Chains A and B, each alone.
Chain A
Amino acid sequence: MFEEVYDVIVVGGGHAGAEAAAAAANMGSKTLLATMNLQTIGQMSCNPAMGGIAKGQIVREIDALGGYSGIITDKSAIQFKMLNKSKGPAMWSPRAQNDRMRFAEEWRLALESTPNVDFYQEMISGLLIEGNTVKGVRTSLGIDIKGKSVVLTNGTFLNGLIHIGNKQFGGGRAGEKAATGITEQLTDLGFESGRMKTGTPPRVDGRSLDYSKMIVQPGDVHPEKFSYLDTPILSQQRDCFMTHTSEMVHDVLRTGFDRSPMFNGRIKSIGPRYCPSIEDKINRFADKSSHQLFVEPEGWDTVEVYVNGFSTSLPEDIQFKALRSVVGFEKVKFFRPGYAIEYDYFPPTQLKHTLETKLLNNLYFAGQINGTTGYEEAASQGLMAGINAHLKINDRDSFILKRDEAYIGVLIDDLITKGTEEPYRMFTSRAEYRTLLRQDNADLRLTPMSHAIGLATDERLRRMEEKRKKSDAFIKFFKQTSVSPESINPILEEVDSALVKQSDKMFKVFSRPKVTMDHMMQLEAVSNFVNENNLGQEEMEQAEIQVKYAGYIQKEKSNADKLHRLENVKIPDNFDYSILKSLSFEAREKLQSIRPITISQASRISGVSPSDISVLLVYMGR
């Protein structure tokens, strides 16, 4: 049935798998997307939303690199918000609510219209391996499919085990079978595996809710979007709603604690601290008498509703009873109960920066199999795995993003250097240089790099260059143009800033804390420049950020430069740490197992001290 040898075989069709397949195929690889169910490509297994703080930045980065997640989010969005707008620009984070069915449909259509992508529906139960190199996959029917490289994006499906109260059953998602075979084969080959846990709330019938008792949560008045390309901006949006739990609700929930798999020891693996179940919340923060619940529509037309904040694995009767005591939910009807799921993952310290495994050549892991959580984290890993799989089989240099270049770089470096004990989610605080990693400049940072390796299209590069050219010119204008006290002082007075006595460069005045672009536009010279040069909102915003935060951006850049010095000191692949007696025992062990590729990466491994780094420098320095 499969005569040809694929360049890249992607196992799994979730956010990671779909991006991996798209990237490899767009770069020219003959790609096969193999999944257990072709109806669930691009499925949003949990909340119907993309982006958010730090995650929104990742989606922008994926888009800047030529991935699809941003475009698909824009096409299927039902609400848009720019979060954290009151903070500095590094914190501005786009988030969209999505139509769950449209989102999956758009993914399917996007992949179908991507040349070089073949599809096949069946469970992949094993890998074909020769020596230390993967050579393809074997299906549960025993069909061998040959491939030069394989990207595993199994999500929560590997030996997935679903818990609802005392009931437990195998499954990768509600109503879907678990996948077996791969974990067992890989552990036999020497891979280390572990178990993680995550959960999801009940879905309910929107017609059974009384929204008049809830607080409406509309989208932004001026919605923006994710993609740097021409995708639609929402002209109308759907509202979300907010309500609260109460002590009464908590009391009902507590009656089910003895049947909670979380508390009776049935679930042993670790779940994310930042995405706790409702029972975990009332247990750990017992003094809190109420928790917020967000009621999110699942789409434009469907009546299905997602109850964000009510993730639970309590028995379904308790879930139901508790939710019925929530304001607005008195007559709620369930579509399906919430549940917890345990699944296999492979500690990501077993990977290289390219997401290729250290043990087997040409085998890549992306998404929850690496211990991460979140669509955005998964998608970005899929993208990077797809890119690197393609580059490797074509004997080209690998594509690695640094920590000061992208959240994606922070994500992968954290995973492979530090590993993770709980499902890993991105936070802006994980990035040392977040002022550089903004959602407004992902294209400036990444599109040229992606274009250079042949993924981002010429159109993307052209748009990015135009934006840069125009915003740079505007910044130069502010640096070179002076403003007189008569023109600027009324504005300064308005914002309660010290007045100027003589003419000063606009750049300097604009740098002051409360002075904004709107103020500057009141100056005739500025508005004339904008009109003459036909500057759009995006270019103006870019210039504003670069002027107003110049000092901070510069500071982070110079901090990042210090990092680069250590980044440039490479450690040879096969370096034998055991000969370095001056290293501490712990450092030697950690270095031997993680095998960092640079001194900088070595310095981020826990247990490796500054003195160990000095010793390494002595050996690697020249």
Chain B
Amino acid sequence: MTPTDTIVALASPSGAGAIAVIRVSGTDALKICNSVFKSIHGKDLMRQKSHTIHLGHIMDANKTLDQVLVSLFKGPHSYTGENVVEISCHGSPYIQQQIIQLLLRKGCRMAEAGEFTLRAFLNGKLDLSQAEAVADLISSENEASHQIAMQQMRGGFSNEIKLLRDELLNFASLIELELDFAEEDVEFADRSKFKELLNRIEEVLKRLLDSFAVGNVIKNGIPVAIVGEPNVGKSTLLNALLNEERAIVSEIAGTTRDAIEDELTIGGIGFRFIDTAGIRVTSDVVENIGIKKTFEKIGQAQVVLFLHSAEEFKNAEINLKSLQTEVGKIASKHPDKPLVILVNKIDILNKKERESLEQLLSHVEGSDFEIISAKTKEGIDNLKNRLLKFVNTGALRNNETIVTNTRHYDALLKALDEVQKVQFGMDNSIPGDLLAIDIRQALFHFGEITGEITSDDLLGNIFANFCIGK
């Protein structure tokens, strides 16, 4: 077999690293990569020699995704024996996903588990004696990817997909019913029903696509609420993270009355920081309005940073209790929200005080902690890494159905494309047998997520629901 389509996948281990390698293989590997690559020297990749490396940017239209190094290997002198391009990009999962998605949109297909190796073998790049090893690899990788997929199908994803597929199958059956059983004494659904069903399918597909976690980040950034008493240094922290003087910094407690938002990219992931007033009850009317707003913002955020000043912990015994109470207050309202206690201004503590503070914080239930100095930037990197870890471990997912697997995303995207073709066809009175071509294609893409679909499903569905047969 000589597969000619072009496949893409991450070649380096998944997760955040210093750099990541995205491998593209297939007839159009060079062409597709060239279409998204802008060399800093204005080079055309199509004209470059094999086994060369080029510096440039991956561009999504006018938007720069990342600065990358691109290595060209022209077939047959490549790992797979086909044209291969390896893109070395920065290591954040966000950037990896951005680039991979761009390549998918440009005509690549997500590689199956072990497919690069399989192609290498088929093109004679591996020895026959390695066949069994390759086969084992493929089956074990499939198993692993299946397990991962199952894990990723949280929050009702698999249910939602199943329902959606049933809807599509239902639609396809109604169309097939008109075709194969036109002579039968059955009532055919009218066109407005079809359109309704299609619109519903389209809507769900769009919602699922929108839910794609990284996609969410691209659009909005991950909301992070910074909560703390007045004058514990929220604005300074924000400035430290933002690296610029944005929020109003003042020594007077309660300066930050309105929630201020700012965006910051850490390791390629967008974060939206929401600076809030504290939550301690005061008699100041303005402050109280601020507190109410704070809780609203906590509700919208996916991570809560609970900021304290090291000064507060001079009397450890008392403050452990009140800290636990306050953490409890937030946790009882938002039990699944990651909460990090940040103790700022540790530059004012000596070594011994610092140790006892850490000891103390490790006893607070329902939260993690991080000690920092926004002023000296100490601990800021640790904080950044902790935020990234939330993204990578998926701790930020909320309860709504979310698509997290690129392969699923790819399949849904293609399914949506087909569904939209069917809608267009309906609007233009295209006959059912031609609409069915696109519907089958959509069902095929669903099959890529849920398993195979055969025409037997359609017929079974028809026979179960309609009285067929003269």
Interface residues of A (CB under 8 A from B): 52-54, 83-84, 86-88, 90-91, 272-276, 281, 284-285, 288, 291-292, 294, 308-309, 418, 427-430, 432, 434-435, 513-514, 549, 552, 555-556, 565-566, 568-569, 580-583, 599, 606, 610-611, 614-615, 617-619, 621-622
Pairwise interchain contact A274-B463, C-beta atoms closer than 8 A: yes
Of A83, A90, A281, A618, which is in contact with the most chain B CB atoms at under 10 Å from its CB?
A: A618
Whether a CB of chain A sits under 8 angstroms from the CB of B132 is yes
Tally the A-B contacts, defined by beta carbons under 8 Å: 139
Min Cβ gap A19→B in Å is 24
Residues of A within 8 A of B452 (CB): 610
Give complex CA distance A435, B132 in Å.
41
Pairwise interchain contact B467-A618, C-beta atoms closer than 8 A: no
Whether a CB of chain A sits under 8 angstroms from the CB of B277 is no
Min Cβ gap A191→B in Å is 25
Given A565-B2, A622-B124, the answer on whether A273 and B468 have CB atoms closer than 8 Å is: yes
Pairwise interchain contact B1-A429, C-beta atoms closer than 8 A: no
Pairwise interchain contact A618-B179, C-beta atoms closer than 8 A: no
Whether a CB of chain A sits under 8 angstroms from the CB of B358 is no
Pairwise interchain contact A91-B469, C-beta atoms closer than 8 A: no
Give B434-470 interface residues, CB cut-off 8 Å to A. 434, 436-437, 440, 452, 454-456, 458-459, 463, 467-470
Pairwise interchain contact B434-A435, C-beta atoms closer than 8 A: yes
Whether a CB of chain A sits under 8 angstroms from the CB of B180 is yes
Residues of A within 8 A of B437 (CB): 435, 552, 555-556
Pairwise interchain contact B1-A552, C-beta atoms closer than 8 A: no
7 of the cross-chain contacts (CB-CB < 8 Å) are: A52-B183, A88-B431, A90-B433, A288-B467, A427-B455, A611-B113, A614-B138
Given contacts A555-B437, A566-B1, 9 further A-B contacts (CB under 8 A): A88-B434, A276-B469, A291-B467, A428-B180, A428-B433, A429-B458, A513-B428, A615-B135, A618-B131
Q: Which 3 residue pairs of A and B lie closest in terms of their CB atoms, listed nearest first? A: A88-B431, A582-B135, A611-B142
Give complex CA distance A581, B140 in Å.
12
Residues of B within 8 A of A432 (CB): 440, 455
Given A622-B122, A622-B124, the answer on whether A514 and B182 have CB atoms closer than 8 Å is: no
Give complex CA distance A53, B178 in Å.
11
Pairwise interchain contact A618-B1, C-beta atoms closer than 8 A: no
Whether a CB of chain A sits under 8 angstroms from the CB of B430 is yes
Pairwise interchain contact A291-B185, C-beta atoms closer than 8 A: yes
Give complex CA distance A427, B436 in Å.
14
Pairwise interchain contact B121-A621, C-beta atoms closer than 8 A: yes
Pairwise interchain contact B139-A611, C-beta atoms closer than 8 A: yes
Give complex CA distance A54, B122 in Å.
39
Min Cβ gap A551→B in Å is 9
Contact check: which of A274, A429, A580, A582 meets B469 at CB < 8 Å? A274
Give complex CA distance A292, B131 in Å.
60
Pairwise interchain contact A428-B1, C-beta atoms closer than 8 A: no
Pairwise interchain contact A565-B1, C-beta atoms closer than 8 A: yes
Pairwise interchain contact A308-B470, C-beta atoms closer than 8 A: yes
Give complex CA distance A582, B454 in Å.
25
Residues of B within 8 A of A615 (CB): 135, 138-139
Whether a CB of chain A sits under 8 angstroms from the CB of B326 is no
Give complex CA distance A274, B177 in Å.
12
Interface residues of B (CB under 8 A from A): 1-3, 112-115, 118, 121-122, 124, 131-132, 134-136, 138-139, 142, 176, 178-183, 185, 428-434, 436-437, 440, 452, 454-456, 458-459, 463, 467-470
Residues of A within 8 A of B182 (CB): 53, 83-84, 87, 91
Interface of B is mostly: helix
Min Cβ gap B433→A in Å is 4
Give complex CA distance A555, B1 in Å.
21
Residues of B within 8 A of A610 (CB): 112, 142, 452
Pairwise interchain contact A429-B434, C-beta atoms closer than 8 A: no
Residues of A within 8 A of B1 (CB): 565-566, 568-569, 599, 617, 621
Residues of A within 8 A of B185 (CB): 291-292
Pairwise interchain contact A429-B176, C-beta atoms closer than 8 A: yes
Give complex CA distance A430, B112 in Å.
27
Residues of A within 8 A of B468 (CB): 273-274, 276
Which B residue's beta carbon lies closest to that of A600? B1
Min Cβ gap B366→A in Å is 43
Give complex CA distance A272, B463 in Å.
10
Min Cβ gap B121→A in Å is 6
Contact check: which of A87, A275, A599 meets B179 at CB < 8 Å? A87
Of A272, A435, A552, A615, which is in contact with the most chain B CB atoms at under 10 Å from its CB?
A: A615
Which B residue's beta carbon lies closest to that of A293? B470
Given A281-B469, A291-B185, the answer on whether A513 and B142 have CB atoms closer than 8 Å is: no
Pairwise interchain contact A87-B433, C-beta atoms closer than 8 A: yes
Pairwise interchain contact B179-A611, C-beta atoms closer than 8 A: no
Give complex CA distance A53, B142 in Å.
41
Contact check: which of A427, A552, A614 meets B459 at CB < 8 Å? A427
Residues of B within 8 A of A291 (CB): 185, 467
Residues of B within 8 A of A83 (CB): 182-183
Contact check: which of A272, A513, A617 meets B122 at CB < 8 Å? A617
Given A611-B138, A614-B112, the answer on whether A91 and B429 have CB atoms closer than 8 Å is: no
Pairwise interchain contact B455-A429, C-beta atoms closer than 8 A: yes
Of A83, A288, A617, which is in contact with the most chain B CB atoms at under 10 Å from its CB?
A: A617
Give complex CA distance A375, B19 in Å.
66
Pairwise interchain contact A53-B433, C-beta atoms closer than 8 A: no
Give complex CA distance A84, B138 in Å.
46
Residues of A within 8 A of B115 (CB): 614
Min Cβ gap A376→B in Å is 14
Min Cβ gap B345→A in Å is 56
Pairwise interchain contact A614-B118, C-beta atoms closer than 8 A: yes
Give complex CA distance A455, B218 in Å.
64
Residues of A within 8 A of B470 (CB): 275, 292, 294, 308-309
Give complex CA distance A292, B185 in Å.
7
Give complex CA distance A513, B429 in Å.
7
Which B residue's beta carbon lies closest to that of A616? B135
Residues of A within 8 A of B183 (CB): 52-53, 83
Min Cβ gap A280→B in Å is 8
Pairwise interchain contact A275-B459, C-beta atoms closer than 8 A: no
Residues of A within 8 A of B180 (CB): 53-54, 427-429
Residues of B within 8 A of A619 (CB): 131, 135
Min Cβ gap A152→B in Å is 27
Min Cβ gap B431→A in Å is 4
Give complex CA distance A617, B118 in Å.
8
Which B residue's beta carbon lies closest to that of A610? B112
Give complex CA distance A618, B120 in Å.
10
Give complex CA distance A308, B440 in Å.
33
Residues of B within 8 A of A549 (CB): 434
Give complex CA distance A54, B176 in Å.
12
Pairwise interchain contact B179-A91, C-beta atoms closer than 8 A: yes
Pairwise interchain contact A513-B430, C-beta atoms closer than 8 A: yes
Pairwise interchain contact B459-A88, C-beta atoms closer than 8 A: no
Give complex CA distance A428, B456 in Å.
12
Residues of B within 8 A of A292 (CB): 185, 470
Min Cβ gap B449→A in Å is 12
Pairwise interchain contact B469-A618, C-beta atoms closer than 8 A: no
Contact check: which of A54, A272, A580, A618 meets B121 at CB < 8 Å? A618
Residues of A within 8 A of B138 (CB): 582, 611, 614-615, 618
Residues of B within 8 A of A54 (CB): 180
Pairwise interchain contact B118-A88, C-beta atoms closer than 8 A: no
Residues of B within 8 A of A618 (CB): 118, 121-122, 131, 134-135, 138
Which A residue's beta carbon lies closest to that of B458? A429
Min Cβ gap A496→B in Å is 11
Give complex CA distance A475, B431 in Å.
22
Give complex CA distance A429, B460 in Å.
12
Residues of B within 8 A of A52 (CB): 183
Residues of A within 8 A of B121 (CB): 618, 621
Give complex CA distance A53, B458 in Å.
16
Which A residue's beta carbon lies closest to that of B121? A618
Give complex CA distance A157, B350 in Å.
100
Pairwise interchain contact B118-A582, C-beta atoms closer than 8 A: no
Min Cβ gap B194→A in Å is 15
Residues of B within 8 A of A427 (CB): 176, 180, 455, 459
